[in-house]
Amino acid sequence: MNRFKKFFAPRMQVQEQEFFESIRSITGYKPADLNLYLTAFTHRSMGFKNELGHVVSYERLEFLGDAILGAVIAEYIYNKVPEGDEGYLTKMRSKIVSREHLNELGLDFQLLRLVKSQVPLKNFGNNIHGNLFEALVGAIYLDRGYVTCRKFICKKVIEPYVDIEKLEGKVISYKSLVIEWCQKNKKQFDFNTYEDTGAGEIKHFAVKLCIDGRQIAKARETSKKRAEEKASKRAFFVLQEKMEA
């Protein structure tokens, strides 16, 4: 008996064929071990555990898929841009496998509809789409091997979504852009971030970005990282002419 079969048995009885066809439609081939894909779309809130007592969820496959995706993309860029140095290749790979881009892929493949979770889908943030896509890549790798996984990434990701020329001009981190500009021009910068609960139930963080003691932009978001990035983006457009000079 497959080690996950007893945990997924109810779902297999009711939805096995539908789930099987969904995976085949997305990947372009018949899955050999369907339980790998069931794991790739199972949230830890389901409480499934294997015989060792470990939680069964998409998180481990997400980790594996991230590594495989990065390797395939790195190989593609290496061959596609033979004149690119290490810094360029690293930057381009980061743009292709950015969280924003992976979220777009997960959305386009409508992966959220396949998730088994005790948490209402409306409560998930945008990153769930990218996480599921990485988990799917991990499942493909374990199910069919590197060669088939590489073909999937090339056909379903690189060919329809990757345009090197467009990506060269795409900013993946406004915060990094602002910091690099400040350091290059010997300017002092400060992200003054603090918790801002406001009137709502969800905790927010507010940030004020100051350069040389002058407030340039401010923003409010549900995480410190997102608040700093939003403030940096606003600062970029305020200082765009100077930064691009």
How do residues 60-94 score in pLDDT, each as one tens digit? 999 999 999 999 999 999 999 898 888 888 888 88
Q: How many CA atoms lie within 13 A of 160 on its CB side?
A: 10
pTM, two decimals, is 0.68
Decide if 46 contacts 40 (C-beta within 8 A).
no
Domains (ranges, CATH) in the chain?
Answer: 5-168 (1.10.1520.10), 174-243 (3.30.160.20)
Taking only the tens place, the pLDDT of each residue in 106-136 is 999 999 999 999 888 888 888 899 999 999 9
Q: What is the percent of the chain with per-residue pLDDT over 90, rounded to a whole number?
A: 46
Asked about 66 being catalytic, the answer comes back as yes
Task: Check 62, 134, 221, 229 and give the catalytic one.
Answer: 134
Higher per-residue confidence, 187 vs 244? 187
Q: What is the pLDDT of residue 236?
A: 85
134 carries an active-site annotation? yes
Average pLDDT rounded to a whole number, residues 163-188: 81
Tally of residues, the chain = 245
* φ, ψ for residue 116, nearest 5 deg: -105, 115
Mean pLDDT (the chain) is 86
Given CA atoms 54, 63, 103, 145 in this order, what sign does their dihedral have? negative
Share of the chain above pLDDT 70, in %: 89
Mean local confidence (pLDDT), 50-65 = 90
CB-CB contact of 36 with 5 (8 Å): no
* Active-site position among 66, 221, 228, 229: 66
Q: What integer is the mean pLDDT of 37-46?
A: 92
